[in-house]
């Protein structure tokens, strides 16, 4: 019996040492709570305490951690107040000032970086008897006003990763040593531009790690601190210097014995799904090429992160990573589908310059690729000949429905792609075709009567294009499950790809890489994403790998309206040239939930009946709130209850937002009436 107790005690001692030596930088609040509880249980066994762990034990442990964090923050403030900033560039100066601000926030308990009371955190831990404590249960709730034990401070200073203050003091007059001690240990979540302007594999990997953690723990309005504008500008400049030298159709020579090419379709700002894809398919390497078919931004919350990561890979491996342009890489789409609003949210006062920088980069993206002299890839599809586009004769409306001649790769090479929006006429209208066209089961190449942009092309055009250029495959993107919903001609894209044409010379595939799409919208499809794998020596026989969506943090939509509901055929050229007409804010799509599945048949709706002033009532839609208390939910809450909770939390927040907004408007109205009354009174007295 004694021997058995010693074995248990020895095991608990190892657990205690292991937890004390752990880095907490990548853990969320719930995991930290579990570790604190586990550590106190192990400590009780090692110290011979013959009782279960109590709330006070965890409170004491948490308070000790907080006190150490505050003490270290005071030391950091003291050091930063005494050190000289001479020699620091703007990027590092901003980070030092940000560190000082956060340290002051910890010491002063400022909102946003405040430290929660240990009692609040301990209340979230469900303590269990010793007989069942080997599987601790932790419940996590959101603490209002952003007050959490591990918030911004969690990623910077921890009980087991305290800054070596004595070491820093010994070098407080040495800039390099202070920077190394402070910046490296306290700013692991800020992206610094590499020394010497040389992007390395380690830097790209760090970038992906930092952006992924920031998406989970940083407010969008704080993103400008994670990736400063100087980093954005330098990365875009480095990438554009490569992209603008590439032809409209890049020739990818990958004829090595063990070479393979990964072709990726639309991503649409779904950053976490991109990270999952790179993990599953493997990162770019000497023998692994990547071709991305465009649509990196819009409709998702992390278009900036997606595009910056892909630009970093392009700069690192310019002959292994190829980025093609999609129709959403334009001013026209980004002003309507959310990317512009995303930039405005994340970069605030600097957003206009940042947004224009992205637009300039979009213009440099190539339009198509030919892989191993065998496979043609592009975003939209085939295109008319440049002679047909340049022909000024005929009525434009009649020409829209006329058959047009099929273009060639020689025509493609003549396009001036440096147009931020797709032209509707002239030789460069081929840009519209390449980015917007769609396949059809009807032979011929004809204008798209429903849209201003692009063409329909039939199986005969696919066959003619492949035969003329001695190719075997076309892999295009542009259409997801929403575009194929209700159609019978082609596959529904729910597994991420579809065979659309299959002829004598080869096949046409549509590829879509955004699972569980769209992130924001009236309806979300439970589709899988997919990527194509082309291997040497038989590049003409692709395999397709479907994948489900990664777990995403909950965010608010940047999408102002459902642009797919707009009839593009009714837009004239002036409207297309300036899309500010389309960007008027609209209510975001409200969540839906089938309460009948839970046996609830009178669930609350997003409609409220208000008096209409004439004795009747009018239905008013509850708006989405900018902030929802209680979300995100802890991961231990499963469907269908998770969806019900999210629906109700969203509705309550929307109602509170509506009341607050109406009260503010009423107060402003009353104030205006009072002001006018005072003016009338003053005029009367005068």
Q: How far apart are CA 520 and CA 555, in angstroms?
A: 10
Residue 611: beta bridge partners?
617
Identify the CA nearest to 549 among candidates 577, 525, 568, 571.
525
Q: Hey, what are 422's tokens?
A: 């797709």
405 and 385 in contact (C-beta within 8 Å)?
A: yes
Supply the Cα-derived Rg of the chain in whole angstroms: 29
Residues 6 or more apart whose Cβ sits within 8 Å of residue 666: none
pLDDT of the residue at 105: 72
SS (H, E, C) 256-271: CCCCEEEEECECCCCH
Q: How far apart are CA 346 and CA 227, in angstroms?
A: 10
Q: What's the CATH architecture for 201-386+404-547?
A: 4-Layer Sandwich (3.60)
pLDDT of the residue at 157: 36
CA 465 to chain CA centroid, Å, is 36
The pLDDT > 70 percentage for the chain reads: 72
553 and 299 in contact (C-beta within 8 Å)?
A: no
Q: How far apart are CA 374 and CA 480, in angstroms?
A: 25
Residues 6 or more apart whose Cβ sits within 8 Å of residue 16: 39, 42, 43, 46
- Residue/partner pairs of 566-572 with CB below 8 Å, 24 or more apart: 567/450, 568/450, 568/451, 568/452, 568/453, 569/449, 569/450, 569/451, 569/452, 571/452
Catalytic residue among 33, 225, 268, 328: 328
Residue 384 vs residue 79, higher pLDDT: 384
Q: How far apart are CA 481 and CA 484, in angstroms?
A: 5
Residue 447 vs residue 277, higher pLDDT: 277
User: Hey, which bits of 211-265 come out as E strands?
Assistant: 249-252, 260-264
| Domain(s) of CATH 3.60.21.10: residues in the chain | 201-386+404-547
Q: Which of 216-220, 298-302, 362-366, 630-634 has the lowest mean pLDDT?
A: 630-634
Residue 581 vs residue 459, higher pLDDT: 459
335 and 579 in contact (C-beta within 8 Å)?
A: yes
pLDDT of the residue at 37: 76
- What's the mean pLDDT when you consider all of the chain? 78
Q: How far apart are CA 365 and CA 361, in angstroms?
A: 7
**Quick check: is 328 catalytic?**
yes
Residue 23 vs residue 325, higher pLDDT: 325
pLDDT of the residue at 587: 39
pLDDT mean over 211-227? 90
Query: What is the tens place of the pLDDT at every residue in 142-163?
Result: 333 333 333 333 333 333 333 3
Query: What is the tens place of the pLDDT at every residue in 239-296?
Result: 999 999 999 999 999 878 899 999 999 999 999 999 999 999 999 999 999 999 999 9
pLDDT mean over 458-478? 97
pLDDT of the residue at 147: 37
E strand or H helix at 502, and its extent? strand 497-502
Q: Give me the DSSP letters along 561-574.
A: S-GGGS-GGG--HH
Q: Hey, what are 207's tokens?
A: 């970038």
pLDDT of the residue at 159: 37
619 and 627 in contact (C-beta within 8 Å)?
A: no
Categorise residue 413: left if φ over 0, alpha if ψ from -120 to 50, beta otherwise: alpha
């Amino acid at each position: 019996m004694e021997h058995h107790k010693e074995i248990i005690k020895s095991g608990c001692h190892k657990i205690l040492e292991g937890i004390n030596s752990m880095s907490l930088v990548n853990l969320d609040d719930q995991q930290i709570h579990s570790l604190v509880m586990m550590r106190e249980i192990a400590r009780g066994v090692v110290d011979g305490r013959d009782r279960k762990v109590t709330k006070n034990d965890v409170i004491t442990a948490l308070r000790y951690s907080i006190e150490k964090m505050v003490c270290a923050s005071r030391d950091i403030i003291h050091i930063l107040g005494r050190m000289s900033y001479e020699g620091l560039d703007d990027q590092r100066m901003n980070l030092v000032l940000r560190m000082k601000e956060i340290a002051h926030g910890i010491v002063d308990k400022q909102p946003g970086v405040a430290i929660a009371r240990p009692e609040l955190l301990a209340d979230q831990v469900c303590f269990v008897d010793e007989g069942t404590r080997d599987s601790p249960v932790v419940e996590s709730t959101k603490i209002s006003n952003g007050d959490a034990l591990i918030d911004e401070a969690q990623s910077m200073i921890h009980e087991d990763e305290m800054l070596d203050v004595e070491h820093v003091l010994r070098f407080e007059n040495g800039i390099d040593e202070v920077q190394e001690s402070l910046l490296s240990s306290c700013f692991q979540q800020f992206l610094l531009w590499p020394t010497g302007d040389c992007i390395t594999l380690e830097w790209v990997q760090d970038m992906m790690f930092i952006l992924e953690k920031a998406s989970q723990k940083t407010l969008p309005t704080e993103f400008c601190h994670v990736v400063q504008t100087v980093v954005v500008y330098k990365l875009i400049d480095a990438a554009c210097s490569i992209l603008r030298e590439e032809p409209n159709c890049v020739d990818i020579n990958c004829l090595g014995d063990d070479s393979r090419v990964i072709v990726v379709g639309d991503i649409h700002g779904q950053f976490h799904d991109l990270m999952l894809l790179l993990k599953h398919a493997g990162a770019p390497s000497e023998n692994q090429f990547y071709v991305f078919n465009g649509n990196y931004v819009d409709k998702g919350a992390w278009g900036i992160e997606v595009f910056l990561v892909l630009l970093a890979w392009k700069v690192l491996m310019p002959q292994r990573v190829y980025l093609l342009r999609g129709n959403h890489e334009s001013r026209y789409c980004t002003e309507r589908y959310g990317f512009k609003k995303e930039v405005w949210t994340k970069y605030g006062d600097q957003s206009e310059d940042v947004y224009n920088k992205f637009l300039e980069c979009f213009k440099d993206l190539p339009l198509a690729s030919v892989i191993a002299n065998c496979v043609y890839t592009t975003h939209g599809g085939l295109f008319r000949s440049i002679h047909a586009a340049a022909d000024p004769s005929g009525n434009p409306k009649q020409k829209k429905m006329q058959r047009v001649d099929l273009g060639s790769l020689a025509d493609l090479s003549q396009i001036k792609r440096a147009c931020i929006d797709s032209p509707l006429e002239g030789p460069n209208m081929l840009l519209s075709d390449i980015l917007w066209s769609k396949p059809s089961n009807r032979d011929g190449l004809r204008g798209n009567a429903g849209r201003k942009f692009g063409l329909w092309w039939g199986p005969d055009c696919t066959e003619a294009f492949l035969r003329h250029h001695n190719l075997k495959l076309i892999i295009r993107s542009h259409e997801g499950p929403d575009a194929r919903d209700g159609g019978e001609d082609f596959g529904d894209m729910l597994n991420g790809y579809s065979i659309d044409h299959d002829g004598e010379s080869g096949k046409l595939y549509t590829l879509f890489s955004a699972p569980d799409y769209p992130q924001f919208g009236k309806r979300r499809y439970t589709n899988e994403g997919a990527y194509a794998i082309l291997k040497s020596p038989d590049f003409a026989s692709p395999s397709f790998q479907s994948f489900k969506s990664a777990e995403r943090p909950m965010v608010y939509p940047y999408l102002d309206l459902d642009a797919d509901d707009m009839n593009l055929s009714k837009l004239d050229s002036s409207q297309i040239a300036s899309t500010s007409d389309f960007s008027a804010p609209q209510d975001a799509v409200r969540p839906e939930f089938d309460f009948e599945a839970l046996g609830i048949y009178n669930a609350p709706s997003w409609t409220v009946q208000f008096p209409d002033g004439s004795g009747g009532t009018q239905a008013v839609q509850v708006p989405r709130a900018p902030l929802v208390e209680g979300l995100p939910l802890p991961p231990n809450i499963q469907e269908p209850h998770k969806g019900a909770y999210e629906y109700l939390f969203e509705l309550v927040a929307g109602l509170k937002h509506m009341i607050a907004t109406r009260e503010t408007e009423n107060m402003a109205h009353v104030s205006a009436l009072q002001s006018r009354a005072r003016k009338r009174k003053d005029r009367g007295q005068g």
